[in-house]
Amino acid sequence: MADMQKWVVYIVECADGTLYTGVSTDLDRRLRQHNGELKGGAGYTRARRPVRFVWSEAAEDRSGAQRKEYVVRRLKAAEKRLLIEGKSNVDQYR
């Protein structure tokens, strides 16, 4: 069965200025989870609330989203800031 959901890689900025990267099919729900409004937020963001979305990029499927997430998570904070500012893209780091 084909994966019909829209997968997205995202970065949130935490209250302490750190960045967290993840994947989701529902960014609104995921943000609410990270901010404690719904169950399921990441432990990392739980101690650094509130968080806000600062960047996202669509992927063709879950596998593609996870590959992009892997690339983004390995970036230094300064490189992630370039993504957020639109001065670079994930593909140049592959």
The CATH number for 88's domain is 3.40.1440.10
User: Can you spell out the DSSP letters for 3-43?
Assistant: --S-EEEEEEE-TTS-EEEEEES-HHHHHHHHTTSSS---H
Kindly state the DSSP code that residue 45 receives in the 8-state scheme.
H
Domain span at 40: 7-93
* Backbone dihedral angles phi then psi of residue 17, each to the nearest 5 degrees: 90, -5
Residue 15 contacts residue 45 (beta carbons within 8 Å): no
Query: Is residue 18 domain-resident?
Result: yes
The count of domains in the chain is 1
Residue 73 contacts residue 21 (beta carbons within 8 Å): yes
List per-residue pLDDT tens for the chain, 94 residues long.
Answer: 455 789 999 999 999 999 999 999 999 999 999 999 999 999 999 999 999 999 999 999 999 999 999 999 999 999 999 999 999 999 888 7
3-state secondary structure (DSSP) of residue 46: helix
